[in-house]
Structure 1
């Protein structure tokens, strides 16, 4: 599709859009009930809306971000792995910044993006400052940007990309005293029921909490202060989100909820009700259509994503009753497809890997080793089904334990009372794969032909 410029005078009266997105956060914030101090980010939820059941299209960086920026699933837009490993978004894809440029917006990127390996201008950004991607180092960059925009005529979209809390959680080159480290022996593990109580896990959780509360949260608070100081807050949509779940074992790199749940907070003064909490299922495939709709720009109609802006505006909205998630490549081939409803999660594992896969940016950690030793599983079953109402931590697989290379006769039967749900979700997942031309239906997906 070729985007046409919007030359109407209305373009100058549309609100600005500030998108703050970080790495690997999941929903580990105070406003989502996590035991971590995040007063600044929590204030966005208090001023605006919190999406309680927000999920991503993929539990890894580039594929998830490609969905956010295009409104298509990773296997549709081609970003089925990491951008620096050959899976970059093609120049012909319409992105959120391209849509907004056509609508008369100035577009800028400050910090991090991971949809293409370099030249982020290809995504539709007119101005790029990628000199740093550290949350606190970006404070001055953001402050200067807003100050320069204070008297501009055209509305703007700025994407502020933050590295934290990507591993490693502790960074020695940050200023001394940045971390007010939690005591690993005292840190509560209630937010991590899927992990064992082990020293390495405790160290990781303590450092994760430190980087979120002492680095990420105050930086986001400073960005909002800069916006207000420039006199732009009342005419701006401010969004905070993340790409996928926490960089912990059984989270990032899996389609379990800790891998695909995402924080999503939206503030638009006078439009989005402060303190609103929406339990509707949403996915970041819906992000671009929703943002365009919220800004008064006609969203594209042919995307897999759909706008939930009416929900944010307090209008009647027929939302989703299911979301889909996927993984194909990370640092290894690990094809997974999943469907989630309010009640159930169905996961289909296509891999013949000899053991459970853990992404390289999780596996070398102390917690990764200890989780592997305590919960080692020879191989994931071909199918997984979880009753989220009775088993929110997805610990009891109600499907057969058959492995991808086994016949049904070699494995257990599904739990009888959930067979109907298993059959229905299996069919719905396959129908989705067919309707979106998932290449996995034709067999293993090869690595991209790149140098």
Structure 2
């Protein structure tokens, strides 16, 4: 089998906010990928935050396995013995290129790329520069230039990271630079079904839609460049994101809007155009899947948590037989503060275990200081998150009613949404017990440090040394 070039396009904070996923937005270039390739309708990520989720994409392991328990610029790092996707593809004969953001490590040299294009160090002080060099227009033009000038050797792997749709600090808060991106009128956008229809939230939706237009244009530039270079038919293009929208009840939360993410794959003449895959898929599975397409060996040390779904897409791909999932796992540990959560999701049920006393809906700093955050946070002030949550996703797809406490969550009501989920005769405690056992079994199998107690911050020793405390 001829090995394809692989172009992995990824962005910030998108979820499934695309026309091809049923949103009333104009994303013709990304939608074209869905029309000409495969769209995954139930693709979930391992963490509703950037670096940990990306670490699963690039290692095939959960964040608590590979060490990425928080953000890369927050001093968390992938363990030194982890094998990363570009490194493995390089060993298999691929020329590897990094364009734009990566947000997996402060030491990009360890990622194993042959070429790193227009890269900026990933440090707190360098973040504004990272924002600019990783804008979709800048990154797409650099990719186009490399393709146009033939600055590559096939087969090649290109990781293409766009900054959009990440919030930025502006006017004392965090927004989406509506003026820069020519955002639509807030009155013209559709509200989000999981949030109240408030002016501040509409303003944020309009802003992110402005960014979305730039993101789609960037994808279009790359697709056109592949075609102009004559390599589009021999290139597997993958488009995805790391978690949901930077909005309340999405980013930073294990509700579906936080962990459900777009995943599109196009490989002309090999993947069926317009196919929709409804199987449960995790982004921890993409690692092994791409290695299978590249005919590159996967680490055989038994540590890989993901499972390849390549044979689901292409019968001619050998190796691991497709093993469909009946559940996915997600969670987070650190972001801008300690937020230890683990979750299991099946076709029908979602069980969430919270290991710390925090407000019912976690808001990262950028969301808390946003218009959307201001519009909803009073509804959650003073409400402690329950230790256990159970949602019936068939009866209650918006996850508004925790079946273990019987109260509907606040702040999510919409006039066109029923006040409560329909009741049934299910023994919810039995469902809870089963999912709790499965979650704990997975935590034991993956050596989750939460089983040993609170997880210390990555700079714990440094903090104590600064305080004159030599305790370890």
TM-score, scaled relative to structure 1: 0.89
Aligned to 2:18: 29
Assess, with a 3 A threshold, how the Cα gap between structure 1 residues 363 and 300 changes in structure 2: closer, same or farther: same
Contact 1:398–1:418 (8 Å) recurs in 2: yes
Cα contact 1:71–1:285 (8 A) shared by 2: yes
Specify the alignment match of 1:308 in structure 2: 309
> Where in structure 2 are the equivalents of 1:31-430 lying within 5 Å?
31-117=20-106, 119-129=107-117, 130=119, 132-149=133-150, 153-168=153-168, 169-171=175-177, 174=180, 178-179=181-182, 181-189=183-191, 192-212=192-212, 214-301=213-300, 302=302, 303-313=304-314, 317-353=322-358, 356-376=361-381, 378-400=383-405, 417-430=427-440
Structure 1, residues 161-180: CA drift from partner, whole Å, max 9, x if none? 00001013533794xxx42x
Cα distance in 2 for residues equivalent to 1:397 and 1:432: 23
**Residue of structure 2 equivalent to 1:447:** 457
C-alpha change, 1:145 and 1:274, in structure 2 (3 Å) is same
Q: Is the 8 A contact 2:70 2:335 kept in 1?
A: yes
Contact 1:135 1:162 in 2 (8 A): yes
Cα deviation for residue 219 of structure 1 reads: 1.1
Deviations 1:287-327 (A, max 9, x none): 11011112222333420011011112258833110000011
* C-alpha contact (below 8 Å) 2:95/2:153 kept by paired residues: no
Q: How many residues align?
A: 420
Deviating more after overlay: 83-92 vs 38-47? 83-92
Shifted more, 348-357 versus 367-376: the winner is 348-357
- Secondary structure of 1:362's aligned partner: helix
Deviation of 1:92 after TM superposition, in Å, equals: 2.4
Q: Which moved more, 1:130-139 or 1:260-269?
A: 130-139
TM superposition shift of 1:185: 2.2
Give the corresponding residue for 2:422.
Answer: none
Task: Give RMSD over aligned pairs.
Answer: 2.0
Q: CA deviation at 1:210?
A: 1.7
Distance in 1, matches of 2:362 and 2:178, equals 29
Shift of 1:139: 2.5
2: CA distance, partners of 1:448 / 1:332: 12
Counterpart check, 1:434 vs 2:440: no
TM-score where L is the length of structure 2: 0.85
Q: Is the 8 A contact 2:6 2:235 kept in 1?
A: yes
Deviation at residue 184 of structure 1 after TM alignment: 1.2
How far apart are the structure 1 equivalents of 2:188 and 2:335? 34
Whether the 8 Å CA contact 2:43–2:263 is kept in 1: the answer is yes
Cα deviation digits, residues 130-155 of structure 1 (max 9, x gap): 251000122220111212447x5541
Quickly say closer, same or farther: Cα 1:354–1:35, change in 2 above 3 A.
Answer: closer
- Report SS of the residue matched to 1:385: strand
Q: Distance in 1 between matches of 2:261 and 2:361?
A: 23
Distance 1:37-1:238 versus aligned 2 partners, 3 A rule: same
Deviation (angstroms), 1:338: 0.1
Q: Is the 8 A contact 1:22 1:241 kept in 2?
A: yes
CA distance in 1, matches of 2:235, 2:51: 27
Tell me the distance in 2 between the aligned counterparts of 1:401 and 1:85.
37
Please give the alpha-carbon distance, in whole angstroms, between the structure 1 residues aligned to 2:229 and 2:294. Answer: 20
Which whole-Å CA distance do the structure 1 matches of 2:82 and 2:390 have between them?
A: 35
Q: For the residues of structure 2 that align with 1:234 and 1:354, how far apart are their CA atoms?
A: 50
Q: Which segments of 5 or more consecutive residues in structure 1 lack a partner in the other structure?
A: 1-9, 403-414
Q: Report if aligned partners of 1:104, 1:154 keep a CA contact under 8 Å in 2.
A: no
